[in-house]
Chain A
Amino acid sequence: MKEMTTFMSKSQHKAKKRNLFIVGILAFFIVIAFFISMNTGYIKLSPTEVIQTFFGYGNEKQQLILFEFRLPRIVIAVLVGMGLAVSGCILQGISRNALADPGILGINAGAGLAVMLFISFFPSTTAVPIFLLPILAFLGAGLTAIIIYTLAYKRHEGISPMRLVLTGVAIAAGISSVMIVLTLRLSPENYQFVATWLAGSIWGSNWKFVLSLLPWILILIPFVFTKARVLNVLNLGDLTATGLGASIEKERRVLLAAAVGLAGASVSISGGIGFVGLIAPHLARQLVGSRHQFLIPASALAGGLLVLVADTIGRWILQPSEIPAGIVVAVIGAPYFLYLLSRLKE
């Protein structure tokens, strides 16, 4: 190892250290946001109370609030953010399109439709095992992804990034009109639930939801991480990637499935949080560059941080009522997206 670092030029060594440092900083920010978020809510707890309770010295009420309400919600916010961000990171890599995002590509809408169909046919969500939701959402997202991919595919030309985006926008519009039809048939109580869900709120403040989401994130993100170097070369374009010996079609399908899985599972818990998959990877790219070995972890952390902060703001800004995190993210995200759009060349 020592020999290697001496072999590496100084600037390479410095760049690597810098990137590790940035990833560390992002993780540190999440910890800070975590404590702030623990403090935010209808019932006030002082920072010392939070820390005391956290280490097991709080009273029963404090423990209930922290461990049964706030903690699972915070964990979910972070996990959802990570899932969406890595999903976006993959989509941007394989489509070579800086604007790809599970939301814009209609994948979130597909997942949303599946969940909504489920809710409208089996209205009492408590009766069914909650871990079904990610699977349903995955199916919905997967089906949508397949439809979009097929429609955007042209023989002899393959997938053009522009056609992919336009097809995604159209399919998303179609799905949202189906959802409107469904919306009007719901009873007012179910409507309120679905509307809140669609707006992207971390509604499942419950450890069960954490457990249903966790395996997807824990399996898929490390898996994607092992594909970092494949993503690196896919990003250079099909011809170059083939020339370097990557089996592009196979890799692209596997990675697309992973992206769909991550987005689907996240959306099933959080509802339609858009823009995370777009912003987080961009932010990460600004910080650590384009190599996916750093880009993936940095995106995941940035995404987790973003959703956690958005959820915290949503809980805090109009107390005692809550604004769904998805709305807060859209308000931050859309302007950023427009900014990116205006800076993009071509």
Chain B
Amino acid sequence: MPVLNVDKVAIGYTSTLIIDGLSVSIPEKKITTIIGPNGCGKSTLLKAISRLLKTKSGAVYLDGRAIHQLQTKEVAKKMAILPQSATAPGGLTVFELVSYGRFPHQNGLGTLTKEDYKHIYWAIDVTGLNEFKDRPVEELSGGQRQRVWIAMALAQGTEILILDEPTTYLDLAHQLDILLLLQRLNEEEGRTIVMVLHDLNHASRFSHYMIAMKGGKLIKEGDPEEVMTFPNLQSVFNIDARMATCPFSNNPICLSYQLYQKNE
């Protein structure tokens, strides 16, 4: 049962459309990744799904209702967004930043209620940030900082989590750390996760559903077995990939690749 439905969406500026007439469904309680080469419109699609960008035509439906007609606060109670390379203002502590995730549930001066504290402490705990909670965010390492932002999104207490390249600029171990955390959230809490990932093998290993895009169009969607195939990678990324099987997830991965030469 899809929670998010993208229906014939077109997005772009006055003359040029980045995405033209794209339809796709995001399955509930699953991890979905969007892949594609640079400039294919994957971040744009993610922004449209999370109502950060307005669609020119078509609509995104959240639980069957057009997202732009919903109160932005109501949407924020159902879905949390982690934009690419978010930066915190100086001097903010981990606790404070995570507490901002409670914004859509607050009114007036924003005094934290018992319910708020429960969510905040749980989010800090589940992301393993307990020992850092009174430290300024800017003093943390890149991987820790990314976990703080995820904690903020978790404190929002939403069913859906949307992340734009959550592993960029992190080293190998920290990338895996973030993805394992997301996997756990999906398995234990049943959260729906939608994200853009650059690393194909990570995408294949951790997702239940993949969306491959190129030039603003949908090329292929389905489970990793269906999407991560030699012909698909050839048409989406212009590469000749040697495929293998991931020893951890049994999903297909790309072992190495050559540039694809068209036969003239």
Contacts and interface: CB of A to CB of B under 8 A. Distances in A.
B100 A245 contact: no
A97 to B, nearest CB: 10
Interface stretch (B27-35, B56-64, B77-85, B209-217): B77-85
Interface stretch (A62-70, A80-88, A233-241, A321-329): A233-241
A237 B88 CA distance: 8
A159 interface: no
Interface stretch (B68-76, B198-206, B232-240): B68-76
A3 B117 CA distance: 12
A285 B45 CA distance: 37
A61 interface: no
Contacts of B134: 11, 15
A247 B81 CA distance: 15
Contacts, number: 101
Contacts of A226: 108-109
Interface stretch (B89-97, B223-231, B253-261): B89-97
Contacts of A225: 109
Contacts of A163: none
A125 interface: no
Contacts of A229: 100, 103, 106, 109-110
A235 to B, nearest CB: 5
B191 to A, nearest CB: 15
Interface in B107-158: 108-110, 113-114, 117, 121, 133-134, 153, 156
Interface band, chain B:
35 or more
B201 to A, nearest CB: 27
A236 B152 CA distance: 11
B104 interface: yes
Nearest to B130: A9
A252 interface: no
B87 A232 contact: no
A226 B109 CA distance: 5
Nearest to B162: A243
Using C-beta atoms within 8 Å of the partner chain, give the interface range for chain A: 35 or more
A245 B76 contact: yes
Contacts of B81: 239-240, 242-243
Contacts of B95: 11-12
B248 interface: no
A8 B99 CA distance: 12
A46 B133 CA distance: 51
A15 B92 CA distance: 12
Interface of B: 13, 47, 50-52, 71-77, 79-83, 86-93, 95-97, 100-101, 103-104, 106, 108-110, 113-114, 117, 121, 133-134, 153, 156, 162
